[in-house]
A and B are shown apart, each in its own frame.
Chain A
C-alpha cells in the first residue's frame, strides 16, 4: 500500500471538490473493495476523502411513488428495508446473493456500484492489464478466462463487472444521482452508468473526476414476480458465473438483466420483448454478437438455462425434458 493522505468530508460538494482538485484522490466509503486493492497496489490513491460522515444513509419515498436510496445506505440495510423487500424484491435478493454478512454490513450502495472486476490478471500486478495499467496489454485474452465476459468486450479487455446489486438495479431502471465539484447535480440512468471497455478499459463509469454518487433512485414499483438467480460453483461466497435478475409479469412479459457475462449489467430491450417466447429467444437477442472464449463459451448456454430456470420458478411454464 502506498502512503496516502486522508480527510473526512463535511459535505457532498466539499467531498467532490476535494477529489476533483487533487490528482490521485479517491472517495472512501465502506472500503470493502478499495482497501483490498490498495493493499495489493492495484489502486494507489494519493489522497482519500472519507465520505462516511455525510449521512447519505436514508431510504425515502419519492414523489412519483419510487424510492430514493442514500449513497451510503449499507447493503445490509438496503436488502432488509421493508419497502425494498415488498416492492423491489429482486434487489433484496441480489444483494443477499453477494459477498458475506460482514461485507454487506460495511459495503455501501454507491460503493457496490463501483466495485471493480475480479479478473485474476487484474489482481496480479505482474501481469499485463489495460484496466490496471493502461496500454500494458491484456493477459486474460488467451489465458484463464472461465469467469470472464462473453459480450461487450474489446481487444483491450474481457473483464466482467462482478456485482449482483447493480444487475437488479439495471432491471429496475434505477437512476444514479450525483454531485460534482461545482455543486452541479445530475441523474444518470443505470444503463449509461457503467461503460464498455473499448480502448479505455480503465474508464469504467460515466462519472467525471470528483463526481460523487449521492443517491440511487428507483422508479415506482413494477409489480410482478421478482427473482434473482445466481449460478456459481459453490453455494455461497463466490462471484456469479451467470446471474439473472428478472421481473416477470403474469402475462409472460417482463424484463431481465444478466450478471457475470459482461463488463456491465447486461440487458437489452429486444431481449425483454422476447420474454413471452421463452428463454432461448431472449438470450438469442441479449447475446447477439457475443464473443466468448473457449474457456467461457459455456456461459451462453448457461445464461439461457438459468433464465429458463427463472421463468420456471415464476410461471412453472418452462421445463426440462
Chain B
C-alpha cells in the first residue's frame, strides 16, 4: 500500500480498541520474568559457552602484539577471538568504527579480543590474561579546541550541494538592525544511553546458517550489517530480538556483542553467549555527542523575531556524522532572516550516534534557553514570546504548511494547568524557607518521520489473528499498539490478537527509532489487514467495500458471519508493506509540545531538585494513552537527567569517558523525579498515516532540559548555559551567607 493522499475515514476511526488505554499485553511476561531476553535464550540455544570482551586500553594507535597464549591455557577456555584469527571482516554500513579492533585501535574500549570459555567467570578471568602491546598515537579528544575551525557540513536540504550554511533572507543585516539581540553560546556534554540491559547476544551456527538472539532496535539494519561484517549471505542469517531491555538509540545498530558471539560460535562449534560488561558499555558503544552551540536572535521590540542563527559544532570519529542540533531551528519559530550552520570536528573519542531524540534534544536545550533569555530582554512572558513567533508554515518555504501544529494550544493549556501565572517574571524572588523556587517553560518539537514498514497477518481457523513483523518493542509498547491496530481492523477484541515481533524471518518493518516506530509499524499492520479483510470478504462471498468487521463478525447487508468462518478451510495469510508518498514534502510533519517545570534550589548548597513537571503534547492520534504516557514520563525523566546530572566526563589527555559505570554516570533515581503530568491534545493528523498518529516518545524529552534550566534561572537569577546544571556552576553566585 502506498500512502500518498490524506487519509479518509477508515476502520481505525471507529476507535473501539485503538486510542483506548490498554495496559501492555506483554506486561505479564515481564512481571513474571518469562519474557525471553537475549541473554536468557537457553530454550532455543542450550549449552552455550560464554564470551567475555576485552576492550582496548588506549584511545588511538595500534596493536603491536597480542599474546593470547596464557589466556588460552587458562581453565575452561575454548578459544580467543582477535583480529588475527577472525578472518576478514567487513564493516556494517551503519558503523563508523570497526567492531573488532586490530591492528588499528580507533577508540578506547574498542573490542580487541573475546575469550570463550565454559563459564562466564572463566572467560572474564582469562580476558585479563591477554597481553596486548599497544603503540599509542596522538589523538584529538577536546571538542572545545576544535570550535571555530571544524569543517562546515552540508546543512541545505539538497544533499548534493557542497557544504554551506543554510540561509534564508539576510541574517547579518537583520541581526545588525534588530533593536533587541542575543548572542550566546551553550554547551551540552557527551551522554550515554545507559540502558538497563547491556548489549547481549547468543549466536549459534548450523552448518553455514547463523542465528543470533540479540537485543536490537532495528532488525533489518542489523541483519544486513551482520551479514556484511561476517561476509555471509543475508539468507543464511536469522536475527531474533523479541524483547529489548532498553535501547534509547544505543541498540539501533549492529554492535560488538553480535559480531563476536558469531565469531566465537564459529571458532568453537558451540552456541556462544555474550553480554557486554557494564564498564565497557560507555566507551565501547555509541553515545550522544557533545555540542557547542552559538545562537543569535534578533527581534523587534514587539517581540517578533527578525533574525535567527543557530550554529552547532560537534565531533565524531572520521566518517561519522554530526549531532544535528540545529534541526528544530529551521522550523520552530517564524523569522524572515535565518542562518543555520553545522560543523563537525574529527575527534578520536568513541563513536557518536543517535540517542533519544538526536538533534532536537540537544538543540532545544540551547534554543529554548535562548528564547527564555530573549523574552527577558524584551520584557515579555516566555509563553507569550513563543506564541507570537509561532508559524503555521515552513519558514524557508512558506507555501509548505505544517500538517497540523498546535504549539500555541500546548503552551496556553499548559500554562493554565501548571499555574504559570503565579510565576514571578523577576528571577530569584520566590522563596520557601531557604529554598529558591522557580518555574520554567520550553517548547517541545520533534519531526515526525515515517519509514517503510511491512507486516504479515494470519487469520487462524480458531479466529485468532496473528501479526508478524520484524518491528521491535524496546519497552515502548509496540506489542500493544500493533495488537490494537489489528484488533480494530479485524473487528476483534484485543485478546483475539497475537503479536510476534523482532524476527528477521518476518516482514521488514520500520524498527524502533526516531519516534517513527509507532506510526510507521502500525501503518504497515493496517496495510496487511486491509489485504486480509479482502481475503476474508472473498472467502465469505461479500463485497469487501461493504463489509463491516465488528464484534468478531463480518457484517454485510443483513448477513453476519463469524470472522473465523472465513478461515474454516484453512488459515488466511496476508502481507503488505506501507510505502510513503510525498505528503512529507507537501506538508511539514512534526510533533509539538510544551514542558513546564518547577524547581527548588537549596539556597545554601545550590542543590537543584525538580518539584513538578507537566508536558502537553500534540502528536496526532494517541494510539494508547497508557503506553504513550509511559513513553512521555520516561522521556521527561531523561530530560531531567540531561539537565541536571548526565555527563560523560572526557579525559582529554587519554581520550576516554572516565565515569564509565552506573556509579559514575548518574541518571535520575526515583527520588529525583516528582509528580509528572502529561496531557495529550486530541488530534488526528490525516496527512501522516492511515492511523492519523505520530510518534510521541522522543517529543517527551525535547525541551525538558531547557525548561529545567529556565526554572533554575527563575529560581536563582543565575543563568547557566553549560549542561548539566550542577550546583558547582552557580554556587558562587547564590545568595551570600549571613
Contacts and interface: CB of A to CB of B under 8 A. Distances in A.
Interface in B619-678: 644-645, 649-651, 653-654, 658-661, 663-664, 666, 668-672
A228 interface: no
B173 interface: no
Given A1-B125, A118-B663, A320-B734, A233 B604 contact: no
Contact of B609 (A126, A235, A301, A319): A235
28 contacts: A40-B279, A118-B664, A120-B659, A139-B654, A142-B653, A143-B658, A144-B650, A146-B728, A231-B607, A233-B727, A235-B609, A235-B669, A238-B666, A241-B727, A241-B728, A278-B737, A298-B728, A301-B732, A302-B731, A304-B737, A305-B734, A309-B434, A309-B604, A312-B604, A320-B603, A320-B737, A321-B735, A321-B737
Nearest to A303: B605
B717 to A, nearest CB: 13
B651 A305 contact: no
Contacts of A236: 669-672
B429 to A, nearest CB: 14
A1 B124 contact: yes
B31 interface: no
B322 interface: no
Contacts of B650: 144
B128 A41 contact: yes
B131 interface: no
Interface string B102-126: 0000000000000000000100110
B121 A234 contact: no
B669 A237 contact: yes
- Nearest first, the 10 A-B pairs at minimum CB distance are A309-B604, A235-B671, A298-B728, A126-B57, A320-B735, A236-B671, A320-B603, A144-B658, A144-B649, A321-B735
A292 B291 CA distance: 28
Contact of B726 (A124, A233, A237): A233
A308 interface: yes
B468 interface: no
A189 interface: no
B606 interface: yes
Interface of A: 1-3, 39-41, 118, 120-121, 123-124, 126-127, 139, 142-144, 146, 229, 231-239, 241, 278-280, 298, 301-302, 304-306, 308-309, 312, 318-321
A144 B58 CA distance: 17
Nearest to A305: B604
A120, A233, A321 — which one has the most chain B CB atoms within 10 A of its CB?
A: A233
B260 to A, nearest CB: 19
Contact of B727 (A41, A118, A231, A280): A231
Nearest to A235: B671
A306 B737 CA distance: 11
B737 A319 contact: yes
B666 A233 contact: yes
A190 to B, nearest CB: 25
B603 to A, nearest CB: 4
Interface string B594-616: 00000000111111010000000
Where chain B touches its partner, the secondary structure class is loop
B738 interface: yes
Contacts of A278: 737
Contacts of A126: 57-58
A229 B434 CA distance: 15
B58 to A, nearest CB: 8
B422 interface: no
B5 to A, nearest CB: 50
Given A280-B737, A305-B731, A320-B737, A144 B651 contact: yes
Contact of B605 (A3, A41, A144, A306): A306
A124 B672 contact: no
Contact of A312 (B434, B732, B735, B736): B434
A2 B666 contact: no
Nearest to A280: B737
Contacts of B645: 233-234
A122 to B, nearest CB: 11
Given A39-B124, A309-B434, A320-B735, A146 B649 contact: yes
A198 to B, nearest CB: 25
Nearest to A310: B604
A236 B671 CA distance: 6
A305 B732 CA distance: 10
B125 A121 contact: no
Given A298-B731, A321-B736, 8 more contacts: A120-B649, A233-B727, A234-B645, A234-B672, A298-B732, A306-B604, A312-B604, A321-B738
A237 B604 CA distance: 21
A305 B737 contact: yes
Given A235-B671, A238-B666, A143 B651 contact: yes
A317 to B, nearest CB: 10
Contacts of A234: 644-645, 666, 668-669, 671-672
A231 B663 contact: no
A305 B605 contact: yes
Given A144-B649, A309-B434, A120 B734 contact: no
A305 B606 contact: yes
B105 to A, nearest CB: 12
A127 B370 CA distance: 40
Interface in B350-377: none
B605 A231 contact: yes
Nearest to A128: B654
A260 B726 CA distance: 16
A302 B605 contact: yes
Given A233-B666, A234-B672, A306-B604, A144 B737 contact: no
Contacts of A229: 605
A233 B644 contact: yes
Contact of B659 (A41, A144, A312): A144
Nearest to B665: A120
